[in-house]
Amino acid sequence: MADESVENNEESTGAEAPKASAEAEGTTAVATDESAASAEAETSGDEATAEAAAAPVAAPARSIEPDIQFVREVIGAGGTDLKKCFQCATCSVVCNITPDDHPFPRKEMIWAQWGLKDKLVADPDIWLCHQCNDCTAQCPRDAKPGRVMQAVAKMSIPSLSKPGFLAKGVGNPSMIAIMAAIPLIIVGLAVGLLGHFNPPRGEIVDGKLEHAGQIVYGQLLGHWSIVGVFSTFFVISIIVFAMGIRNYWVMMKRHATEEGSPVTGSGAAQVGPVISEIAVHKRFGKCDETKDRKISHLFILYAFVLLFLATIASTVFTDFPLLWGGTGSVSPYPTISVVKLFGYSGAIAGIIGIGLIMINRFKHQVKVGLGSYFDWLLIIVIALLMITGIGSAAFRLGDIGVLAYPTYFIHLSLVMFLFIYAPFSKMSHMVYRATAMAFARTAGRDTPM
C-alpha cells in the first residue's frame, strides 16, 4: 500500500501504467458483473432477511407491498426517526425483555420502514415491548426504536378494538375536544335525566331525612343510576376488549403460521402465569434505562386494583343488602368503612404513582424523550381522576358545595372517559400486552425471567 505508493512516487514509469490500467479495467469489469449479481442477491437477501427475521424455516419468496401511508403514519405517531435505522440490531441486543427467538425491535424497525402493516399489527412483540427504551438510549442512529414500537402499537389498536374510528379519535390530538365532550355529555345526560344538577342537601331514606344540610353526592346522581349507567359502559368495554383479544389472537396465529412457526395450543393455560407475572411487574424490573418505571407503574396498577375493590365492596355492602330488601349503608359512606378505606388508599397510591410517572418522564427526557400525546392523554386523565376524586371527598367534608358538585361531576366524567375509551386509548395496553404475553408463552418464546 504505502510502499506501493512510494514506489509509484519514486519511479512512476510509463511502462507500468498501461499494465496498471489494464488491470484496473479487468477489475472494473468483474466488479460490474458482481455488482449486478450482488444487487440481485441483495434484493432477495433483503426478503430473506424479512423472512428470516421471523422464520428460520424458509418461507416461500413473495414480493413486498409497502404501505407508504402506514410509514407516514408511524412517523407522524411518534416514530419520527424511523428512517434513520440501519438495521444494526443494537436494539434487540440491549433489550432485556425480548425473547431470543425472533427478537424485537430490530425486525419491527424494518417492517415499519417497509410499511408492512399486516405483519406489524399481528406481531405479538409490539405489545410485548414495555417501553423501557433501553433501545432508544443505545441506538447508534438515534432512530428511537422504543418510540417506533409505541407508535406501531398505538396504530394497531384500530385493528383490534372495534369500532376502529374511536381509537383513531383518541389518538388524534385535534380530536381532543370531541373525545372529551362524549363522556361529559353521557354523564350530563345521566344527571339531567336521572339526578339533579342543583342537588338538594341531605336525603330522604325510608321517609326520614338523613345527613340534613350535608352535601350528598347521591342527590346529584343516585346510587342505582350510577350503577346502571357506568356498568353499561363498563360491560360494553369488556365486550370490545373480549373481541379485541380474539382479533389479536387470531391475527397473531395467522402471522405465526405465515412466518413458518405455527402456534398451537390455547392461551387459557397462560392466564394465571401472566397475571402473576404482571402482579409483580417482573419485566419492568428488567429495564435498565428506566428502571424506576417499575415502582411508579406498580403504584398505578394497585391504585386501580384498590379502586376496583372499593367498587366491589360497595356492591357487597350496599347493592346486595338493598337488593335483598335490607337497609344497607347509603351514600355518603361513613369515613371509616371498607369502601372508603379502599377508595382512599387507592387514591393515595394513584397520586403517588402518577406523580412518579410524570417525574420519571421528565427525568428521562434527554435519552428517552417525554413521550407522545397518546401517553400524556392517559397520564393527565389519570392524574385529574385522582385529583378530582380526592377533591370531591375534601370539598364534601369541607362543605363547599359550589366546588364539591362540579368536582364530583368532572370526576364522574373522567371515570366515564376511562371506561368508554379503555379499549381505544393507551389504557388498552393492560389487555393487549397481557394478551401478547400469553401468546408469547403459548408460542414457547417467552423470555426467561
Partner 1 sequence: MSDKVLVIGGGISGISAAVEAAEAGQESVIIEKNPYLGGRVAQLYKYFPKLCPPYCGLEINFKRIKQNPKVSFYTLSEVQNISGNEGNFTVTVKVNPRYVTEKCTNCGACAEACPAERSNDYNYGMDSTKAVYLPHDLAFPMRYVLDKSACGSDCQACADACPYGAIDLSMEPKTLEIPASSIVLATGWNPYDASKIENLNFGAIPNVVTNVMMERLAAPNGPSKGRIIRPSDGKEVKKIAFAQCAGSRDENNLAYCSAICCMASLKQATYLRDRDPESTAEIFYIDLRAPGKYEDFLRRLQDDENVTLTKGKVAKIEMDQSTGDPVVTVEDILGGGKIKKQFDLVVLASGMEPAGPGANIPLDIPFEEHGFIDPDRLADGIYACGVACRPDDVTTSVQDATGAALATLQTSAKTAATAGGNL
116 binds partner 1 (CB under 8 A): no
Task: Pick from 67, 75, 80, 138 the residue near partner 1 by CB under 8 A.
Answer: 138
Among 67, 75, 88, 225, binds partner 1 (CB under 8 A): 88
- Should residue 55 be labelled a site residue for partner 1 when binding is judged by CB under 8 A? yes
Which position among 47, 67, 80, 89 is part of the footprint of partner 1 (CB under 8 A)? 89
C-alpha cell at 421: 375509551
Chain center to CA of 442 = 21
Q: What's the closest the beta carbon of residue 260 comes to partner 1, in angstroms?
A: 11
Of 101, 210, 292, 319, which lies in the binding site for partner 1, with binding defined by CB under 8 A?
101
Q: Does 25 bind partner 1 (CB under 8 A)?
A: no
Closer by beta carbon to partner 1, 1 or else 336: 1
Cβ proximity to partner 1: between 73 and 259 the closer is 259
Asked if 189 interacts with partner 1 (CB under 8 A), we say no
Minimal distance, residue 90 CB to partner 1, in Å: 4
Stretch that binds partner 1, among 2-10, 182-190, 222-230, 387-395 (CB under 8 A): 2-10
Choose between 364 and 426: whose C-beta lies nearer to partner 1: 364
For helices 429-442 and 271-280, the axis angle rounded to 10 degrees is: 120
Query: Looking at 52-60, 165-173, 205-213, 249-257, which segment touches partner 1 (CB under 8 A)?
Result: 52-60
Asked if 214 touches partner 1 (CB under 8 A), the answer is: no
In angstroms, what is the minimal distance from the CB of 393 to partner 1? 48
Q: How many residues interact with partner 1 (rule CB under 8 A)?
A: 40
Residue of 16, 56, 279, 380 interacting with partner 1 (CB under 8 A): 56
* First-last CA distance in the chain: 52
Asked if residue 27 binds partner 1 (CB under 8 A), the reply is: yes
Q: What angle do CA 188, 189, 194 make, to 5 degrees?
A: 105
10 binds partner 1 (CB under 8 A): yes
Among 47, 67, 141, 236, binds partner 1 (CB under 8 A): 141
Q: How many CB atoms within 10 Å of residue 234?
A: 17
Tell me how far CA of residue 347 lies from CA of 22, 51, 187, 295, 317, in angstroms: 82, 48, 21, 16, 20
Give just the sign of the alpha carbon dihedral 278, 378, 345, 306: negative
Least separation in angstroms between residue 104's CB and partner 1 is 10
Calculate ∠ Cα 277-279-281, nearest 5°.
65
Chain residues 142-181 in contact with partner 1, contact rule CB under 8 A: 142
Residue 90 binds partner 1, judged by CB under 8 A: yes
Name the site residues for partner 1 (rule: CB under 8 A).
1-7, 9-10, 27, 31, 34, 48-49, 51-53, 55-56, 86-94, 98-103, 106, 138-142
